[in-house]
Copies of this chain bind each other. A is one copy, B any other.
Amino acid sequence: MASSLSPPKVPMELHVGNRQKLLESLRHHLSQSTLPVRGFVLLQGGEEQTRHDTDHLELFRQESYFAYLFGVREPGFYGAIDIASGESILFAPRLPDEYAVWLGEIKPLSYFKEHYMVSTACFTDEIASVLQQRYKGPGKPLLFLLHGLNTDSNNFSTPAQFEGIDHFNKDLTTLHPILTECRVIKSEMEIALIQFANDISSEAHVEVMRKAKVGMKEYQLESMFLHHTYMYGGCRHCSYTCICATGENGAVLHYGHAAAPNDKTLEDGGMALLDMGAEYHFYGSDITCSFPINGKFTSDQSLIYNAVLDAHNAVISAMKPGVIWVDMHILAERVILEALKKAQVLVGDVDEMMTARLGAVFMPHGLGHFLGLDTHDPGGYLKGLERRKEPGLKSLRTVRELQEGMVITVEPGCYFINALLSPAMNSPETSKFINQEVIKRFNGFGGVRIESDVLVTATGCYNMTKCPREIKEIEAVMAGAPWPIKKTTSNHVNGL
């Protein structure tokens, strides 16, 4: 058996629930404002894109806010929620007759109504008339459109546009923060999909770990991962471009893109750092495994690996509602710095190192980020929360307090990045901590990252990722041992 998993049925009730949650939150907000509790939420789904001037179509993947509320996989849709009645309306594109010849059956509106479990389905050229007709209040109906900042990209979402929008009043500020906050706290049905994406991706990571061999190309690891998650998990999309970094490439945090396309040969004695996660029905996973290509950790590899694993485990042990994410980042940094000091890579007082922000030299990225329909799921900075300015902390994609139902990645890392180490070794504030003799050994080492997707529970947290993490486990699995290994204790849950 090539996999113990198969793609689960996707319950469209998930999106019914998402709409209901938004409706409650929005009605509550409006009832406390000067605005009447009526009008329409209106979102525009994504459109298919062609490549430059050609007719080459990129494989369409729905815009995430629209996917959250309606779960629609087809391009060209709009969706509305009638705030007063709670009814939902999908607007489908009116397809030309030739569509049936080239692209498939033209589904009737009733199909979309039933399949996506909405109250009504109409055509996109009917938006203005349908909404006008439904509106019971005085004056122009009010549309709540999606407009707001994505704090990871610094881009703004584009509010829906349609013919006849001038007959409506528009509210561009209310919806975005409320809908974003709905996405931050995951429902059980959302968690089940993220869990499946984690299960199939964890299994694929194990598969890749076992098949990786000296002499292969990095992209062959990517190919094996993609194949396993699609073949056995039905995952047509990944959450992000696979990062298959080996040797010194492990020090390039977002390796794998078109200008650094996973094309190095796997070398004996080097580490692999594989950051790969599949997506299932829009919900993603984000998992990193690090292991020695030849299957056996050297002592230096063990040292760095265990420093990162200790940080990973310390964070997961401490996570529970009320904990501030910045504190978790700082905890991870401290664990790593202490390990580096113990190994004589660093010298001096760890508190002083923390003050000098030395941790950010070895881990310049944030400890983790929300995960859901987007890999970097939105909502990291609630209104009023400011981004920190210090190295490392400024890279955090959230500084929030943990709450039950959040899914967040825990991804400490330790990297030997020349572009950061050189300045640190030349700066009087940081050079004194660095053992120049010992750190030479790590020239070309690359880096280690261990990344799990963690659900915050009522009393602690649950690690949804199920990869071999202990050095013994990794070496055993790479040598052919079964996974999961039967264990009497489990350390992927706390707070039970």
Contact = CB atoms under 8 A, between A and B. Distances in A.
Given A223-B230, A231-B223, A101 B417 contact: yes
A342 interface: no
21 contacts: A52-B157, A52-B158, A53-B156, A53-B158, A54-B153, A55-B155, A55-B376, A59-B258, A60-B259, A75-B259, A97-B419, A100-B418, A101-B253, A103-B259, A103-B260, A104-B260, A217-B234, A220-B231, A222-B230, A223-B230, A226-B227
A102 B64 CA distance: 25
Contacts of A59: 241, 257-258
A441 interface: no
Contacts of A260: 103-104
Contacts of A49: 49
Contact of A155 (B54, B63, B226): B54
Interface in A225-247: 226-227, 230-231, 234, 236, 240-241
Contacts of A382: none
A56 interface: yes
A53 B155 contact: yes
A152 interface: yes
Contacts of A224: 227, 231
Contact of A240 (B46, B56, B64, B257): B56
B227 A223 contact: yes
A455 to B, nearest CB: 22
A420 interface: yes
Contacts of A226: 223, 226-227, 230
A177 to B, nearest CB: 14
A257 B60 contact: yes
Q: Is the interface of A mostly helix, strand, loop or mixed?
A: loop
Interface in A395-453: 417-420
Given A103-B260, A252-B104, A53 B230 contact: no
A277 interface: no
Given A54-B374, A59-B257, A103-B259, 19 more contacts: A48-B258, A50-B155, A52-B158, A53-B150, A53-B155, A54-B153, A57-B257, A60-B257, A60-B258, A60-B259, A97-B419, A101-B252, A101-B417, A101-B420, A103-B255, A219-B230, A224-B227, A226-B226, A226-B230
Interface string A314-333: 00000000000000000000
A104 B259 contact: yes
Nearest to A239: B56
A153 B257 contact: no
A94 interface: no
A374 B49 CA distance: 15
A158 B53 CA distance: 8
Given A73-B261, A227-B227, A230-B219, A153 B102 contact: no
Interface of A: 46, 48-64, 73-75, 97, 100-105, 150, 152-153, 155-158, 217, 219-220, 222-224, 226-227, 230-231, 234, 236, 240-241, 249, 252-255, 257-261, 263, 364, 374-376, 378, 417-420
Nearest to A73: B258
A257 B104 CA distance: 10
For the complex of A and B, list the 4 residue pairs with the smallest distance between their C-beta atoms, beginning with the closest: A227-B227, A100-B419, A55-B153, A60-B258
Contacts of A101: 252-253, 364, 417, 419-420
Contact of A374 (B46, B56, B62): B56
A42 to B, nearest CB: 16
Contacts of A374: 54, 56
A225 to B, nearest CB: 10
B252 A102 contact: yes
Contacts of A51: 61, 63
B75 A258 contact: yes
Nearest to A95: B259
A217 B230 CA distance: 11
